[in-house]
Structure 1
Amino acid sequence: MTDFFKDIPRITYQGPEASSEFAFRHYNPDEVVLGKRMEDHLRFAVAYWHSFAWPGGDPFGGQTLDRPWFGDTMALAKQKADVAFELFDLLGAPFYCFHDADVRPEGASFAESLRNLEEMVDYFGQKQASHKTQLLWGTANMFSHRRWMSGAATNPDPDVYAYAAANVKAMMDATAKLGGQNYVLWGGREGYETLLNTDLRAERQHAGRFLQQVVEYKYKIGFKGTILIEPKPQEPSKHQYDYDVATVYGFLKEFGLEAEVKTNIEQGHAILAGHSFEHELALAASLGIFGSIDMNRNDYQSGWDTDQFPHNHPEMALAYYEVIRAGGFTTGGTNFDAKIRRQSLDPEDLVLAHVGGMDTCARAMKAAAALWEAGDLEAARQARYAGWDTPAAQAMLKGGLAEAAARVTAEGLEPQPKSGRQERLENLWNRFV
């Protein structure tokens, strides 16, 4: 045990009228919603990087957080793991997620970095054996180190591609060993800044082949989890090859991977792409590539990815409604890819940020579930498209353009606009949130 979270109690559900700030008011893990425990619906995960590796910097300033485990030794890496699992225990979190660089010191060579990673994976294995919290997904950090400045799989240097392959192989091995339920690829620098020095076709081909190799390796090692790719539109690269869900789906189709790879969708990335979170979730579900989510929010007055904890439950309810419509999570979950503010220095701030985020998501899920159970919104949606269930409409889809056009004269069609009833449905929504 460390003393980092000393005097902070284990967080339990105490109801909406709880007097203590160290309590869940809406998240009751054992509450049954739509026939399933709340914990099993939401599948919360704590992000190792933001919670334990982030020093508190932003684009205009450096470190503000002073943590006793900051440093480049294995002893400090293990101390960080000890503190991490103490937070997991306080929250009762069922899952966590990590990058390789979050948990092990960078070695003087790849071989040394790999040894450090393997030692930490063994340490995590010991922790998981004696704690509730297990691994939701692992991933490789291929964006922070200077070697990745021109990308990883899309790098013009084939030696960097090889280094990326070695990193991903190592982390897929680690994820499989720890029983991770997914493996995520996040192309933080898989894009370009200027066409003056970029071969778009070559970079896309290399990225596609890399992802094919990842899937091939999944089967080679017998990894049973899901491969996820995380869309992101920009920041830091000006043009990303994984801009949004639609772009990712086109990429997967091009390389024959649409049945092998799903998406890990982040709220902040959806906003940066000019979409809503619920749009990206609904689109992914409709395309059959919905997998998992990174839960956070952006400051809507900032033009970059601020990774704040969610606190707007009506907004999150829209997202969880689409998760419910998609059939819920299977191997995926709700990963808090969120960090406390750089002025929030105390251990209590880290705990309470997660408490608030978990409560916000639970409140949102319950509102979305209640509306889903009532059925009014789905009934209205089905009624709007009911005309397509008629034999004439179905025959029109199966026939040609001329046959469809012939209906206009044959049946004397003069279609009149019908109300979309948006305001009524918004009022309906607001009755539940």
Structure 2
Amino acid sequence: MTDFFKGIAPVTFEGAHSDSEFAFRHYDPDEMVMGKAMKDHLRFACAYWHSFAWPGGDPFGGQTFERPWFGDTMDLARMKADVAFDMFQILGVPYFCFHDADVRPEGADFAESTRNLEAIVDYFGEKMDATGLKLLWGTANLFSHRRFMAGAATNPDPEVFAFSAATIKTCMDATHKLNGENYVLWGGREGYETLLNTDMGRERAQAGRMLQMVVDYKHKIGFDGAILIEPKPQEPTKHQYDYDVATVYGFLKDFGLEDEVKVNIEQGHAILAGHSFEHELALARELGIFGSIDMNRNDYQSGWDTDQFPNNVPEMTLAYLEVLKAGGFATGGTNFDAKLRRQSLDPEDLILAHVGGMDACAAGLKAAAAILENGALEEAREARYAGWNGDLGQSLMQSGLAEIEAMVRSENINPDPRSGRQERLENLINRFL
């Protein structure tokens, strides 16, 4: 191990009454929940970018973190990997995730950047073989460098489109080589600042073609993982083409990709889109495109993406309720797309932030499982829609307006409203928290 986390032992489960900061109170990896080990339900992953590449800046101030691996050399990139794998082992997470720009220094050109990435991928491979760590997903950073200021796939300059396509190809190769279980596309700047200089039809067509190429290449190289789009509204652009789950689904339908691509849903992005996390998860499940989640939270007093570590167990319970109803994760998992506060400078802070997030997720999962096993919530939902299973409900779905009007007249249908019982159900949920 490196010296960065010196003195911090691997975190283990000690139970709810433990007095240790460096212990899990709820996350027992081997505890059985609904017939499956908790570690297999949650499939935790650490995000390389926030934990090891982010310097601690925000829109109003620059770097606050001083990490020994910060710099643009391959030796420092290897040091970063050493520290990262130390943290993964301390936490006992089974997975990690990365962008290309997180793990390798930027080269003078595309070829040098690719060589750097390939060298780090080989280094990752050795460390993964030695530790048993796995890659949940890889992705390309097509938003940070100034060349992407007007987007990547949607850029008005075809040279940027070409550079972006080539970068995606190298990142898909890296993910495939490391046996990654998914490949994610996040259009951080795929949008516009103003319609005055934007051809929306052209940009949507470019984005659709890029995604078709990604799917084609997946099949060409025999990548068995899922292709995931991560919805994101606005910020930093005025409009983004992957605003929310519904928008992404419409996009997929337009380009014939609804059976090829799923979604990676982030809690913070759902809130920025004006939805709840559970809404986005439920809609993805109903549309058949649920894939994976990025777990974090926003500060509800701020209007931007703060990416804080999750600690709201009631919210997480509702989220994991939808995950369980979707049948759980297949290739997806729970990735901590979360970062420390810029004042949290100590190595211990990075460990404890993940410990708290993992414990909160575990508590939410157990509460969600208890709700489903109790059955009262689902029984109430089924009872509310029970009429649609009868003769009237079945006939309405097969009839036209004129037929229905005749039926209402002849049978003197004059319905009274029925209570939705929302408060009762909210109280029911709280019994499990």
Matches within 5 A, 1:85-234: 85-234=85-234
Amino acid in the other structure paired with 1:372 = L
SS of the residue 1:108 aligns to: coil
In structure 1, the gaps of 5 or more residues are none
How far apart in 2 are the matches of 1:409 and 1:106?
A: 73
Name the structure 2 match of 1:53.
53
Amino acid in the other structure paired with 1:189 = R
The CA deviation at 1:60 is 0.7
* Residues 152 and 164, structure 1, Cα contact 8 Å, conserved in 2: yes
Name the structure 2 match of 1:317.
317
- For residues 385-433 of structure 1, the C-alpha deviation after alignment (integer angstroms, 9 at most, x for no partner) is 0000012221221122222222201211011100000010011000011
Name the structure 1 match of 2:419.
419
- For residues 347-368 of structure 1, the C-alpha deviation after alignment (integer angstroms, 9 at most, x for no partner) is 0000000000000000000001
In the alignment, structure 1 residue 257 sits paired with structure 2 residue 257: yes
Name the structure 1 match of 2:270.
270
- For residues 336-383 of structure 1, the C-alpha deviation after alignment (integer angstroms, 9 at most, x for no partner) is 000010000000000000000000000000001000000100000000
The CA deviation at 1:122 is 0.4
Name the structure 1 match of 2:24.
24
Name the structure 2 match of 1:374.
374
Name the structure 2 match of 1:286.
286
Matches within 5 A, 1:281-360: 281-360=281-360
The CA deviation at 1:152 is 0.1
How far apart in 1 are the matches of 2:347 and 2:402?
A: 69
TM-score, normalised by the number of residues in structure 1: 0.99
- For residues 258-312 of structure 1, the C-alpha deviation after alignment (integer angstroms, 9 at most, x for no partner) is 1100000000000000000000000110000110000000000001000000011
How far apart in 1 are the matches of 2:179 and 2:202?
A: 35
How far apart in 2 are the matches of 1:272 and 1:334?
A: 20
- For residues 165-224 of structure 1, the C-alpha deviation after alignment (integer angstroms, 9 at most, x for no partner) is 011000000000000000000000000000010000000010011101100000000000
Detail structure 1 runs of 4+ shifted over 3 Å in the superposition: none
- For residues 22-71 of structure 1, the C-alpha deviation after alignment (integer angstroms, 9 at most, x for no partner) is 00000000000000000000000000000000000000111100000000
How far apart in 1 are the matches of 2:280 and 2:320?
A: 12
How far apart in 1 are the matches of 2:157 and 2:405?
A: 55
* Residues 92 and 132, structure 1, Cα contact 8 Å, conserved in 2: no
- For residues 101-152 of structure 1, the C-alpha deviation after alignment (integer angstroms, 9 at most, x for no partner) is 0000000010000000000000000011011321000000000000000000
Amino acid in the other structure paired with 1:82 = D
The CA deviation at 1:9 is 1.2
How far apart in 1 are the matches of 2:282 and 2:10?
A: 36
How far apart in 1 are the matches of 2:404 and 2:97?
A: 52
Amino acid in the other structure paired with 1:160 = V
SS of the residue 2:105 aligns to: coil
In the alignment, structure 1 residue 365 sits paired with structure 2 residue 365: yes
Amino acid in the other structure paired with 1:306 = T
Identity %, equivalent residues: 74
- For residues 78-103 of structure 1, the C-alpha deviation after alignment (integer angstroms, 9 at most, x for no partner) is 01000000000000000000000000
How far apart in 2 are the matches of 1:126 and 1:308?
A: 31
How far apart in 1 are the matches of 2:12 and 2:324?
A: 25
How far apart in 2 are the matches of 1:308 and 1:206?
A: 33
Amino acid in the other structure paired with 1:205 = A
SS of the residue 1:264 aligns to: strand
TM-score, normalised by the number of residues in structure 2: 0.99
How far apart in 1 are the matches of 2:406 and 2:225?
A: 51
How far apart in 2 are the matches of 1:8 and 1:203?
A: 49
SS of the residue 1:155 aligns to: coil
Name the structure 1 match of 2:76.
76
Q: Count the aligned residue pairs.
A: 433
Amino acid in the other structure paired with 2:328 = G
How far apart in 2 are the matches of 1:324 and 1:411?
A: 42
* Residues 89 and 132, structure 1, Cα contact 8 Å, conserved in 2: no
SS of the residue 1:335 aligns to: strand
Query: What root-mean-square deviation, in Å, do the aligned CA atoms of Structure 1 and Structure 2 show?
Result: 0.6
SS of the residue 1:398 aligns to: coil
